[in-house]
Structure 1
Amino acid sequence: MHSLPSTPSSSSTHPVVLPSGKWREALRGLRASLPVMLGFVPFALVLGAQAAQKGLSVAELALMTGLNFAGGSEFAAVRLWTSPPHLLLIVGMSLLINCRHILMGAALVPYLRHLRRRQALPALFLMCDETWALALADARARGRISMPYYLGVAAGLYASWVVFTATGAALGPAIGDMERFGFDMAFTAVFLVLLKGMWKGVRASRPWLVSLVASASAYLLLPGAWHVAIGALAGLAAAVYWAGRHD
């Protein structure tokens, strides 16, 4: 049986994915993100309610969560919010907390080499911890990132986060303190699930333990939000130290 002549579009190194295939990949990503989206709802509502208590409007919160898609720094910003706000402190804490995205982006580099920068860089705007974890796990299984899959994951998580934080801000004044319902535990639960998926043994988790102990100690001993900075810096220092030892 004669094979069809090879053409540039049928190259094995850069296979063309038909539009229908791209939609299937995007839907696969959206389905994969559904459990995390459900986990987003409670602590998105908590963030929205806390922001409303600090005087932020629904539109202001939607703008903040839409432009800074990183829940940890948003919780820190809302907790540090005063009238007038200490902007340098809030910006500094947000930058420090979001520095983890540098390491997350670096971990994706080997799986992004088949993409052009103009494709990869805008997509990284939608990267959060959960998007990164799901995309990295899929890329390791397939050898490269499927951009439609990534965008399917990211779009669902981004939309649900912005919508439900805004909903929390709208409902917060009527419902009151949502933490009394235990909704804030969803934040911890989602991250524990992500950590389980990235678990590589006790030796690799030592920087996590150092960060936890340092942050908890600072929380108990120091006023304000210094535990965030101290935990992050201690974890990074521990990671650099053990990486240099090559053990």
Structure 2
Amino acid sequence: MTENESSRLEFFRGARESAPMLIGLLPFAMILGVQGGQKGMSWLEMLLMTGMNFAGGSEFAAVNLWAHPQPIWLIATVTFMINSRHILMGAALAPFLRDMPLKKALPALFFMCDESWAMGLAEVRRRQALGLPSFNLPFYAGVCAILYSTWIVFATLGAAVGPLFGDVAAWGFGMAFPAVFLVLLRGMWKGFSAALPWLVSLLVAALTYRLAPGAWYVPAGALSGLAVAYFRSGSK
């Protein structure tokens, strides 16, 4: 088998193995688009936002804060805080991209989202156990291709038809995306101790959401989780 044939097979394997996550991703993308359309976002604005900022959580925050006049600095700050997790995710992925040329490494990081990052690291562990080179770029590209295209296409479609729908939150699809994250968490579970920063972040964010108006629960949850992770690493 030639290298091109092997890369093509790995690409399609990545797309195939990520396909089950579309059960949660597709309706959530539609909900994002519909909510954006009901807030006055055009399909083009939704296409540009999802295409340039491939991170679902911050996009939902931006849509929820969308108003006229637009609170640009608030949206930018909340987006940065939510997306700050990508700094740690990128740092975890960076050792396996060290020998890769920038023309390949930078696109790999651009298309990195929670799902592709988790599947990429799972593939790294699998290949290390087999004694193969760690990072499987064709597999990772297949994962990113199916997730990225599905997300932007259905979010854009949702924005185009959004004004035709009522309260989409009442449909119950909101549980689909958290279910995907629970599956990813199960695959990466290393014990309660390693998950402590996530738990603290969740509890602080939930408490802040109940007690403080606005979007302050976002930085509160992010900073508390980072603080716990920092002090735990320093105590070892």
Fold conserved between structures, TM > 0.5: yes
TM-score normalised by structure 1 residue count:
0.90
* Matched AA of 2:191: G
Q: Which residue of 1 aligns with 2:194?
A: 204
Counterpart contact for 1:26–1:150, Cα < 8 Å: yes
What CA distance in whole angstroms lies between the structure 1 residues aligned with 2:35 and 2:103? 37
Match status 1:224 vs 2:214: yes
What is the alpha-carbon distance in structure 2 between the residues aligned to residue 119 and residue 172 of structure 1? 36
1:62 aligns with 2:62: no
Query: 2:149 matched to which residue of 1?
Result: 159
Q: Does 1:124 align with 2:109?
A: yes
- Structure 1 distance, partners of 2:225, 2:80, is 16
Task: Give the deviation of 1:119 after TM superposition.
Answer: 1.4
**Where has structure 1 moved over 6 Å in runs of 4 or more?**
none
Deviation per CA, 1:89-108: give whole Å up to 9, x if none.
Answer: 10011011111111101111
Match of 2:131 in 1: none
Taking only aligned residues, the RMSD between alpha carbons, in angstroms, comes to 1.3
Q: So what's the TM-score if we normalise by structure 2?
A: 0.95
Structure with the greater alpha carbon radius of gyration = 1
Equivalent residue of 1:168, what SS?
helix
Matched letter for residue 181 of structure 2:
F
Q: Say which SS state the counterpart of residue 184 (structure 1) adopts.
A: helix
Which residue of the partner structure matches residue 22 of structure 1?
7
- More displaced 10-residue stretch of structure 1: 65-74 or 176-185: 176-185
Instruction: Provide the rounded CA distance (Å) in 2 between the counterparts of 1:21 and 1:170.
Output: 39
Aligned residue pairs total 231
**Residue from 81, 88, 98 that aligns with 2:83:** 98
SS at match of 1:47: helix
Structure 1 residue runs of 5 or longer lacking an equivalent are 1-15
- Residue 162 of structure 2 corresponds to which residue in structure 1? 172
* Offset at residue 170 of structure 1 (A): 2.0
Calculate percent identity across the aligned residue pairs.
54
> In 1, Cα distance between the equivalents of 2:104 and 2:160?
35
Match status 1:40 vs 2:40: no
Which of 90, 94, 110 aligns to 2:95? It is: 110
CA deviation digits over 1:125-158, x for unaligned, max 9? 1110001001110011113111111110001100
Aligned counterpart for 1:77 among listed residues 53, 59, 62: 62
Mark the runs of 5 or more structure 2 residues left unpaired by the alignment.
Answer: 129-133
Give the deviation of 1:17 after TM superposition: 5.9
Partner of 1:241: 231
